[in-house]
Amino acid sequence: MTTLLTGDLIRAARALLGLSQVELAKKAGITQKALGEFELGKKPITAKANEKLRRFFEERQVQFIAANVEANHLEGTGVRWKPPHPNSGIKTI
């Protein structure tokens, strides 16, 4: 299953890595103009750009978190550093 990146997720992942739009666009192989339009929601992301960005982020251990609507859990999507050992020392209450 492929994660379809939204403008908010792209911005958050970019911020996590401390990259400007220009830096991310160059490193991921897309144009800064397209990246800016995706982030602002002016244009939907293309499948090709989505794959390039997703691969770039995941290679740098950025993990995209899906929405969770179960009771007693946080809702919403997000990004985080991919833990080297999932569930190590983290407890859900």
What residue ranges do the domains of the chain occupy?
Answer: 7-81
pLDDT for 80 beyond 90: no
pTM: 0.77
User: Mean pLDDT, the chain, as a whole number?
Assistant: 84
pLDDT for 37 beyond 90: yes
**Which residue, 43, 55, 57, is CA-closest to 15?**
57
Q: What angle do CA 80, 86, 88 make, to 5 degrees?
A: 115
Fold annotation for 7-81: 434 Repressor (Amino-terminal Domain) (1.10.260)
What's the confidence (pLDDT) of residue 81?
74
The count of other CB atoms within 10 Å of the CB of residue 51 is 15
Strand partners, 62: 81
Cβ atoms of 53 and 27 within 8 Å: the answer is no
CA 64 to CA 59: how far, in whole Å? 12
Specify the 3-state DSSP secondary structure of 65.
strand
